Amino acid sequence: MVRIVLFVCALGALIAAISIPFVLATLQRRTGLTFGGTGASRVIASDVGIGAAFVLRDDELGLCGKPDYLLSSGTSFGDRLVPLEVKPKRRSTRLYDSDRIQIGAYLLALKATADDRASKIGYVRYQTRTFEVELTWGLAQEIRSLVATLRRARLASVVHRDHHSPARCRACPVRQHCNEALP
């Protein structure tokens, strides 16, 4: 069993490592940023085994996280730090809300961590498409509201299911303890 888990982890890291050049080439085409060389974008941190991870923190919101990649991108305004999250198995033509929120949370935490160097743009890469997420006032408010809701839920003695999707229930990590699980 341990060998299988190690194999799956190694395979995931290999897929991520192989996808980096493609992701960077796509970002270069879509954004005009260059990757490699003087004044270009480069991977400065990674949570997928390519390099050292870098923890982004927003102590005010209590957020912390490590994006798959943290890029340093040369712009006319100087170097900016840009989070990149890779979802190699997703083939959707639209960005999932959960991924938009995740990269938005990274952008908020990056702003609190790196201030002047933080980009207002982050990227989510699916198997066939790269999505750009801008940290707008509305997205920041949505994330703050979600954080507040989660904090209130942690204090509640009972948190009820908020959906009617059997697939979500089957994938839920607390399904075995839930008395509202769907068949």
* CATH value of 2-154 in 3.30.70, 3.90.320, 3.40.50, 2.40.128: 3.90.320
Name, in order, each residue with C-beta under 8 angstroms of 17's C-beta and a sequence gap of 6 or more: 48, 49, 50
Please give the pLDDT value at position 105.
95
> With a cut of 70, which residues of the chain have pLDDT below it?
1-41, 50, 74-78
Q: Is the pTM for the entire model greater than 0.85?
A: no
Please give the pLDDT value at position 144.
95
Digit-coded pLDDT (tens) for 107-140: 999 999 988 888 899 999 998 888 999 999 999 9
Please give the pLDDT value at position 165.
86
Please give the pLDDT value at position 38.
43
Domain boundaries, the chain: 2-154
CA 13/CA 103 separation, integer angstroms: 20
Percent helix, strand and coil across the chain, each to the nearest 5: 45, 25, 35
- Alpha-carbon 78 to chain mean position: 24
Q: Residue 136 in contact with residue 128, Cβ under 8 Å?
A: no
